[in-house]
Amino acid sequence: MNLILLGAPGAGKGTQAEILCKKLGIPSISTGNILRAAIKDGTPTGLKAKSYMDAGQLVPDEVIIGIIGERLAQSDCAKGYVLDGVPRTIGQAEAMEKAGIKIDAVVAIEISEEEILRRMSGRRVCEACGSSYNMEAIPPKVEGICDNCGGKLIQRKDDTPETVRERLKVYHKETAPLADFYAERGLLKRVSVAGDKEATNAAILQVLGL
Protein backbone atom coordinates (compact mmCIF):
# COMPACT_ATOMS: atom_id res chain seq x y z
CA MET A 1 0.00 0.00 0.00
CA ASN A 2 1.41 3.38 -1.06
CA LEU A 3 -0.01 6.15 1.12
CA ILE A 4 0.32 9.91 1.36
CA LEU A 5 -0.42 11.79 4.58
CA LEU A 6 -1.52 15.37 3.98
CA GLY A 7 -2.02 17.97 6.66
CA ALA A 8 -0.86 21.27 8.09
CA PRO A 9 2.37 21.45 10.06
CA GLY A 10 1.49 20.14 13.51
CA ALA A 11 -1.41 17.99 12.29
CA GLY A 12 0.42 14.89 13.49
CA LYS A 13 1.55 13.44 10.17
CA GLY A 14 4.86 12.23 11.57
CA THR A 15 3.27 10.63 14.63
CA GLN A 16 0.61 8.91 12.52
CA ALA A 17 3.14 7.81 9.90
CA GLU A 18 5.18 6.13 12.64
CA ILE A 19 2.17 4.24 14.03
CA LEU A 20 0.98 3.19 10.56
CA CYS A 21 4.42 1.91 9.62
CA LYS A 22 4.65 -0.26 12.70
CA LYS A 23 1.17 -1.64 12.06
CA LEU A 24 1.56 -2.16 8.32
CA GLY A 25 5.23 -3.16 8.28
CA ILE A 26 6.22 -0.58 5.67
CA PRO A 27 8.65 2.35 5.91
CA SER A 28 7.62 5.94 6.52
CA ILE A 29 9.36 8.53 4.44
CA SER A 30 9.56 12.04 5.81
CA THR A 31 11.22 14.62 3.58
CA GLY A 32 11.53 16.84 6.67
CA ASN A 33 13.57 14.16 8.47
CA ILE A 34 15.66 13.44 5.37
CA LEU A 35 16.43 17.15 4.99
CA ARG A 36 17.28 17.58 8.68
CA ALA A 37 19.67 14.61 8.45
CA ALA A 38 21.27 16.16 5.34
CA ILE A 39 21.78 19.44 7.21
CA LYS A 40 23.33 17.65 10.17
CA ASP A 41 25.69 15.76 7.83
CA GLY A 42 26.55 18.93 5.91
CA THR A 43 25.75 17.41 2.49
CA PRO A 44 25.23 19.67 -0.58
CA THR A 45 21.46 19.04 -0.33
CA GLY A 46 21.54 20.02 3.34
CA LEU A 47 23.44 23.22 2.59
CA LYS A 48 20.87 24.15 -0.06
CA ALA A 49 17.88 23.34 2.16
CA LYS A 50 18.88 24.96 5.44
CA SER A 51 18.04 28.60 4.81
CA TYR A 52 14.61 27.74 3.39
CA MET A 53 13.76 25.51 6.33
CA ASP A 54 14.91 27.94 9.01
CA ALA A 55 12.72 30.63 7.42
CA GLY A 56 9.65 28.38 7.26
CA GLN A 57 9.75 28.35 3.44
CA LEU A 58 9.52 25.30 1.20
CA VAL A 59 12.66 23.75 -0.21
CA PRO A 60 12.61 24.01 -4.06
CA ASP A 61 10.66 21.28 -5.85
CA GLU A 62 13.64 19.95 -7.82
CA VAL A 63 15.54 19.20 -4.61
CA ILE A 64 12.56 17.32 -3.15
CA ILE A 65 11.84 15.42 -6.36
CA GLY A 66 15.45 14.20 -6.43
CA ILE A 67 15.31 13.09 -2.79
CA ILE A 68 12.06 11.22 -3.22
CA GLY A 69 13.09 9.47 -6.44
CA GLU A 70 16.21 8.17 -4.75
CA ARG A 71 14.43 7.08 -1.59
CA LEU A 72 11.54 5.25 -3.28
CA ALA A 73 14.01 3.29 -5.42
CA GLN A 74 15.42 1.60 -2.31
CA SER A 75 14.39 -2.01 -1.78
CA ASP A 76 12.49 -1.51 1.50
CA CYS A 77 9.88 0.53 -0.43
CA ALA A 78 8.91 -2.40 -2.65
CA LYS A 79 6.00 -3.51 -0.42
CA GLY A 80 4.66 -0.01 0.12
CA TYR A 81 5.36 3.17 2.07
CA VAL A 82 3.82 6.08 3.91
CA LEU A 83 4.83 9.50 2.60
CA ASP A 84 4.90 12.11 5.38
CA GLY A 85 5.22 15.70 4.23
CA VAL A 86 5.59 15.03 0.53
CA PRO A 87 4.22 16.02 -1.95
CA ARG A 88 3.75 19.50 -0.59
CA THR A 89 3.11 21.40 -3.83
CA ILE A 90 1.12 20.67 -6.99
CA GLY A 91 4.46 20.69 -8.84
CA GLN A 92 5.79 17.86 -6.67
CA ALA A 93 2.58 15.84 -7.07
CA GLU A 94 2.68 16.23 -10.85
CA ALA A 95 6.34 15.24 -10.98
CA MET A 96 5.58 12.12 -8.94
CA GLU A 97 2.76 11.19 -11.32
CA LYS A 98 5.05 11.72 -14.29
CA ALA A 99 7.67 9.50 -12.68
CA GLY A 100 5.08 6.72 -12.53
CA ILE A 101 4.82 6.67 -8.72
CA LYS A 102 1.51 4.94 -7.95
CA ILE A 103 -0.51 6.13 -4.94
CA ASP A 104 -3.32 4.04 -3.46
CA ALA A 105 -4.77 6.54 -0.99
CA VAL A 106 -4.24 10.03 0.40
CA VAL A 107 -5.28 10.74 3.98
CA ALA A 108 -5.88 14.40 4.81
CA ILE A 109 -5.55 14.99 8.56
CA GLU A 110 -7.72 18.00 9.45
CA ILE A 111 -7.09 20.13 12.53
CA SER A 112 -7.95 23.65 13.76
CA GLU A 113 -5.36 26.41 13.59
CA GLU A 114 -5.70 27.05 17.32
CA GLU A 115 -4.81 23.45 18.09
CA ILE A 116 -1.82 23.62 15.72
CA LEU A 117 -0.32 26.63 17.47
CA ARG A 118 -0.82 24.98 20.85
CA ARG A 119 0.84 21.76 19.74
CA MET A 120 3.83 23.28 18.00
CA SER A 121 4.93 25.25 21.02
CA GLY A 122 5.12 22.00 23.01
CA ARG A 123 6.73 19.91 20.29
CA ARG A 124 10.12 18.33 20.88
CA VAL A 125 11.96 16.05 18.47
CA CYS A 126 14.71 13.51 18.94
CA GLU A 127 18.01 14.84 17.66
CA ALA A 128 19.13 11.32 16.74
CA CYS A 129 16.11 9.50 15.22
CA GLY A 130 13.55 12.23 14.50
CA SER A 131 10.73 10.82 16.66
CA SER A 132 8.44 13.57 17.85
CA TYR A 133 6.90 14.24 21.25
CA ASN A 134 4.68 16.81 22.86
CA MET A 135 5.33 18.01 26.38
CA GLU A 136 1.59 18.00 27.14
CA ALA A 137 0.02 15.40 24.92
CA ILE A 138 2.79 12.87 24.15
CA PRO A 139 5.51 13.29 26.77
CA PRO A 140 8.54 10.98 26.73
CA LYS A 141 8.91 8.53 29.63
CA VAL A 142 12.01 10.38 30.83
CA GLU A 143 12.05 14.17 30.41
CA GLY A 144 14.28 15.29 27.54
CA ILE A 145 15.14 11.75 26.39
CA CYS A 146 13.79 9.80 23.39
CA ASP A 147 11.83 6.64 24.29
CA ASN A 148 12.92 4.91 21.09
CA CYS A 149 16.66 5.49 21.05
CA GLY A 150 17.75 7.42 24.16
CA GLY A 151 18.64 10.47 22.04
CA LYS A 152 18.32 14.05 23.25
CA LEU A 153 15.02 15.88 22.66
CA ILE A 154 15.26 19.38 21.24
CA GLN A 155 12.93 22.10 19.98
CA ARG A 156 13.16 22.53 16.23
CA LYS A 157 14.43 25.91 15.06
CA ASP A 158 11.36 26.29 12.84
CA ASP A 159 8.91 25.66 15.71
CA THR A 160 9.12 29.22 17.05
CA PRO A 161 5.71 31.00 16.88
CA GLU A 162 6.87 33.43 14.18
CA THR A 163 8.16 30.69 11.88
CA VAL A 164 5.11 28.53 12.59
CA ARG A 165 2.88 31.37 11.33
CA GLU A 166 4.95 31.58 8.15
CA ARG A 167 4.74 27.80 7.64
CA LEU A 168 0.95 27.93 8.03
CA LYS A 169 0.76 30.67 5.39
CA VAL A 170 2.86 28.58 3.02
CA TYR A 171 0.73 25.53 3.81
CA HIS A 172 -2.52 27.29 2.84
CA LYS A 173 -1.07 28.66 -0.37
CA GLU A 174 1.02 25.71 -1.64
CA THR A 175 -0.09 22.50 0.05
CA ALA A 176 -3.82 22.78 0.83
CA PRO A 177 -4.67 22.71 -2.94
CA LEU A 178 -3.37 19.12 -3.01
CA ALA A 179 -6.58 17.94 -1.33
CA ASP A 180 -8.55 18.89 -4.46
CA PHE A 181 -5.83 17.46 -6.71
CA TYR A 182 -6.21 14.03 -5.10
CA ALA A 183 -9.99 14.29 -4.64
CA GLU A 184 -10.24 14.68 -8.43
CA ARG A 185 -8.36 11.39 -8.74
CA GLY A 186 -10.71 9.66 -6.29
CA LEU A 187 -7.93 9.07 -3.76
CA LEU A 188 -8.71 11.54 -0.95
CA LYS A 189 -9.92 10.42 2.51
CA ARG A 190 -10.50 13.05 5.20
CA VAL A 191 -9.96 12.44 8.91
CA SER A 192 -10.59 15.02 11.63
CA VAL A 193 -8.32 15.05 14.63
CA ALA A 194 -10.33 14.26 17.76
CA GLY A 195 -8.98 12.64 20.86
CA ASP A 196 -5.48 11.25 21.29
CA LYS A 197 -3.08 9.85 18.72
CA GLU A 198 -4.54 6.34 19.03
CA ALA A 199 -8.06 7.65 18.33
CA THR A 200 -6.83 9.51 15.26
CA ASN A 201 -4.99 6.39 14.13
CA ALA A 202 -8.12 4.27 14.51
CA ALA A 203 -10.01 6.80 12.35
CA ILE A 204 -7.29 6.62 9.68
CA LEU A 205 -7.34 2.81 9.58
CA GLN A 206 -11.11 2.98 9.27
CA VAL A 207 -11.15 5.32 6.26
CA LEU A 208 -8.53 3.09 4.64
CA GLY A 209 -10.69 0.02 5.26
CA LEU A 210 -7.92 -1.65 7.28
Among residues 106, 146, 178, 204, the one that binds Zn ion under rule CB under 5 A: 146
Among residues 6, 53, 72, 107, the one that binds ligand ADP under rule CB under 6 A: 53
Site for ligand ADP in 62-81 (CB under 6 A): 64
Among residues 48, 50, 118, 156, the one annotated as catalytic is 156
Strand residue runs (E) in 46-156: 81-84, 105-110, 123-126, 132-134, 153-154
Among residues 88, 119, 124, 189, the one annotated as catalytic is 88
Under rule CB under 6 A, residue 167 binds ligand ADP: yes
Contact present, 28 and 17 (Cβ < 8 Å): yes
Under rule CB under 5 A, residue 125 binds Zn ion: no
Comparing CA positions, the residue from 109, 111, 110, 147 lying closest to residue 130 is 147
Exposed, middle or buried: residue 127 (CB in 10 Å: 0-12, 13-18, 19+)?
middle
Among residues 74, 112, 148, 192, the one that binds Zn ion under rule CB under 5 A: 148
Under rule CB under 6 A, residue 12 binds ligand ADP: no
Size of the site for Zn ion (CB under 5 A): 8
d(CA 95, CA 81): 18
Comparing CA positions, the residue from 35, 29, 64 lying closest to residue 50 is 35
Comparing CA positions, the residue from 174, 163, 169 lying closest to residue 54 is 163
Binding site for Zn ion (CB under 5 A): 126, 128-129, 131, 146, 148-149, 151
Binding site for ligand ADP (CB under 6 A): 9-10, 13, 30-32, 35, 52-53, 56-59, 64, 85-86, 88, 92, 158, 167
